[in-house]
Amino acid sequence: MSLFSLMILALGLSVDAFAAAVGRGAAGGPPRLLPALGTGLVFGFVEMLTPVIGWALGSAFAGYVEAVDHWIAFALLTAVGGRMAWCAVTRTEDAPPAGRSLLALVCTAIGTSIDAMAVGVSLALLDVDIRVAAAVIGTTTFVMATIGLLAGRMIGERAGTRAEVGAGVGLALLGCAILWQHSIA
C-alpha cells in the first residue's frame, strides 16, 4: 500500500474523531491550544493503537470483531452523547459541562476508533508495515481532532448550551449512524 493510499485511509478513519472533537469543543469554553492538543493526543493515540490491535488479531478473529464492533461504538457514543445532552439541559448555571472528564474523552475516542481495528485486520492481510500505517493514522487523527476541538470551541462560544446539547445529540447520532451503516451492509 502506497503512502498516498495510507494517507487517504487515515483521513477517512479520522473523520469520526474530527466530528466528535467538534462536539466536545462546542461544549467547552473559549478555544485554547493546550486542551486541543491534549484532546488530539488522546484521539490520535487511540486511533493509532486500534489498528495495531486489529493487525495483531489478524484474520483468524476478523469475524468476531466485525460482528460486535458497531454495537460497541454505538453503546459508547450514545451513552456519552446522551449524558452530555441530558446534563446540558438539566445543569444549573454554576455546574461544569458534562462529558469533559478524561474517561468521557477516552470512551469517545474508543467509540470513534473501533472501525480502525477492523482496518488493522485488513492491513494484516495486505502485508502492510503496521508501524508506518499506525503512525500515519495516529498523526492524521491527532491533527484532525485538534483542529476539530478548536473549531468546536469557536462554535460553542457563540451558541452556549444549545451547542452542548447539539454536541451530545451529535455524538449519539454518530453512534446510531455507525450501527445503521453496519446493519445495511
Q: Give Cα 109 to chain centroid, integer Å.
A: 4
- pLDDT tens digits, one per residue of 123-170: 877 778 999 999 999 999 999 999 999 998 887 777 667 767 777 787
pLDDT of res. 92: 63
- pLDDT tens digits, one per residue of 132-145: 999 999 999 999 99
Lookup: cell for 57: 488479531
Spatial separation of the C-alpha atoms in residues 158 and 162, rounded to whole Å: 9
Nearest to residue 172, comparing CAs of 23, 47, 63, 59? Answer: 23
Contact, 155 vs 25, CB < 8 A? yes
The structural domains of the chain, with segments of one domain joined by +, span: 3-184
pLDDT of res. 95: 55
**Which parts of the chain register pLDDT below 50?**
none
Lookup: cell for 21: 472533537
| This prediction's pTM | 0.73
Contact, 149 vs 35, CB < 8 A? yes
Lookup: cell for 128: 502492510
Single-letter amino acid code for the residue at 140: T
Spatial separation of the C-alpha atoms in residues 138 and 7, rounded to whole Å: 11
Q: Which residues contact 74 (CB under 8 A, 6 or more apart)?
A: 175, 176, 178, 179
pLDDT of res. 106: 93
Spatial separation of the C-alpha atoms in residues 99 and 124, rounded to whole Å: 35
